Amino acid sequence: MSFEERKRRAHEIVSAMTNKEKALFLQGKDFWRVNGNEKYSVPVSFLSDGPLGLRKQPLVSDHMGLLKSEPAVCYPASATAACSFDEKLLEEFGVSIASEAIRQKIDMILCPGMNHQRNPLCGRNFEYYSEDPLLTGVLASAVVRGIKSQKVACCVKHFAANSQETLRLVSDSVVDERALFELYLRAFEYVVRNAEPDAIMTAYNKVNGTYSSENKFLMEDIARKKWGYRGLFLTDWGALNDEVNSFASGLDLEMPGVCKGTDEIVLDAVEKNLIPQERLDDAAENVITFSLLHSEEKTPSYTEEESLALSLKIAEESAVLLKNQDKLLPASKEKNIAVIGRFAKHPRYQGAGSSKVNPVKVVSALDAFDERGINYKYAKGYHEEGWTSRKLLKEAVNLAKGKDLVFIFAGLPPASESEGSDRNTLAMPKGIGLLIDRLCHTNENCVLVLHSGSPVHIPCYNKLKAVMYVGLAGGMSGEAAVKLLMGEVNPSGCLAQSWPKKIEDIPSYPWYLKNRRVCEYRESIFSGYRYYDAGGVEPLYRFGHGLSYTSFSINSLSSTKTSLKENEELELKLKVKNTGSLSGASVVCAYVSNENPLVFSCKKELAAFKKVFLKPQEECTISLTIPYSAFSYYNRSAHDFAVQGGLYSLSVEAMTDFVNRESQSLSVNVERSRNFIDESDFYKNQSAYGDAKNIQNVTREDFEKLLGRKVPENPKIGKPFDQNTTLQDLVKSTLLFKFAKPIILHMAGKYDEGSKQEKKNTSHFALQMPIRGIGMMGGMTKKSIARLVKTLNRWLF
């Protein structure tokens, strides 16, 4: 059935139902399943995590990825796959993971994750694509199209402005209207308009004072009315704060269905007209429309072996050659090679948390070297969590002496990038840093094979001859790394996120994680390359940086139009040539710049991109479509995107070495949009944002002028307690520590599979969990949670 047919059938079913039958659809059946109804032939549906691969848990359940799940292909993380800049490849990923879902009888995959990478320290950045909303929107749309082509549902997440893990269930993202629409909502808008996802998952956090799961402005006013969204809204697991406000504001489904009682609350609210009858009907209809997809006949397009091959291909195309001094790479099999680092034997290929996959196959670099008969010597160098010892250092240093090449496999340990916690440093663990330093002072031909899901500080950077960033490349990461190092594959990845030289250069550094529950987005639109370019701050690596074993040139840039009217588009044409001796690929990007902006603005913004594969000396002509919307900015007065009009510059770059990158540009006159409202007077009063160099000096008063309101104060924690009081706040009371401690120990101790650091992260997450989150552990109802809060207050007061 088409969406329209399922929608009509769902409407017929809901029209015949009682309110009690409808209300049962508004909460999950259990941890992973959505309620069905045999009487009306509505099947029970099964949901699964999926940003890096499926995580089906048919017998045991958790949302931190520590309990066993069904074996599945582990694909490269989204942040790694984004470096491919390959829309077609990401659509293939969608088809592949949906094929696995069909075999495992999964009805909805909870992916892709598409939050804006505001700060490299976010523990969940590896699940997200980029700091650029267009790149995120295009790649996420490709994944959605691929999944839906197999008649499997997908759920994009986390809506919206979910930029940190610290206190994520109770934090408030305070962001100005322009930044909200240009950075934090734009990718979601793109995927809704271009791929029509089946579901959108609301984030844990508040957005400008209102929890995402009860944010009528986001769900109804923007997504449904402005963007035309037709799917369902479901909560992140345990995100629901207020049942009545949520369902009255546009929410359709609470997950999971562990803490029962939502149906009773909803029925009572409908009776009192706190939730309109039509809202109950719409919510049930939206859930059933999805559930009817379960009955569709489905045939997998990919076998497991084909999915593994695709995972390898994505890893190969996403690796970024950051540095290659003296053309040390690719390496020759005849070289005398030392391979050092635990990750060479036990690869770091995924992050921690709900995205964690039980991989059906893992290939290490040592496996790949052995398969090729390459002669090498191996030393461990460090332990799993990054610490080392004199014995390990001595063994590694001795091994490196006199070798032609030293491959150092290193990066961030598994628990450093995890759901539920954020990093507080860009540095690798001290033990790994010390190892790299010793090796670089022992052998001048050191190559770092870097494993991490987001930017890190690279120790001894100036002494390293080459750096190959493989990211979190999935279960086939070892095979991909060796093929890239030995020249079987030419690296073609480009960074989808800027890499700062030091933590203090991150635009949001002065405020990020500094203010507990109130998260101020004072940097506004100046995030990532938008800040580094406009503020004149030189990062270690720019957005789009990536080297190749060959070279490219671009020339003959032309445009189909020199002036552009409203709602028109233009085509840029240019020639791209592989000027080297090896086959390879280059990413070509087009940027838009407003030559005379009336408001503070970025120096340039990504408008289009294309990846081109060419043989040695091959040349081709490519086209890049630039829509009228690429020239727009969010106009506060119009409450919509608008085009100022005038002269704009279009620059095209071949994304290779950012120092010597090829670039060409031209200008175009663009017509002002009819909805444009001159905001010059307002922006004259925003002097703090007039020069991006001063962004990190923006005061709260400056930010409040931009917001047009006061920044809320951090809530005072204490008397009386409520359902959003965290266990961390409870343990500050000696009496209530006795209550909170068993819960924390239970959450950390019930998981036998996780590492010590992962269990520590779980304890940390438990401390930040509000009282209402205890219901996720099972055995409680909504009423018993409310009674618990009253009891805790009675104990103390």
Q: Identify whether the C-beta of residue 344 lies closer than 8 Å to the C-beta of residue 365.
A: yes
Phi/psi at 452 (5° precision): -170, 160
- Between CA 594 and CA 601 the distance in angstroms is 8
> Which of 132, 236, 282, 422 is an active site residue?
236
Burial-class residue 244 by CB neighbours within 10 Å (0-12, 13-18, 19+): middle
Instruction: Give the end-to-end CA distance of the chain in Å, rounded to a whole number.
Output: 58
Q: Identify whether the C-beta of residue 96 lies closer than 8 Å to the C-beta of residue 310.
A: yes
Annotated active-site residue 729? The verdict is no
- Between CA 789 and CA 791 the distance in angstroms is 5
Residues 6+ apart with CB under 8 A from 335: 404, 405
Phi/psi at 95 (5° precision): -65, -45
Token couple for 484: 């890239």
Token couple for 235: 């909560």
DSSP state of 90: H
Nearest C-alpha neighbor of 757 from the set 748, 769, 766: 748
DSSP string across 500-548: -SSGGGSTTTTTTTTSTTEEE-TTTT--THHHHHHHT---SB-TT--B-
Nearest C-alpha neighbor of 108 from the set 45, 35, 202, 24: 45
Give a three-class secondary structure readout of 401-435: CCCCEEEEEEECCHHHCECCECCCCCCCCHHHHHH
Handedness of CA 518, 79, 432, 436 (dihedral sign): negative
- Between CA 553 and CA 579 the distance in angstroms is 7
Burial 719-754 (b: 16+ CB within 10 A, else e): eebebbbbbbbbbebeebeebbeebbeebbeebeeb
- Between CA 108 and CA 665 the distance in angstroms is 44
| Active site residues per annotation | 236
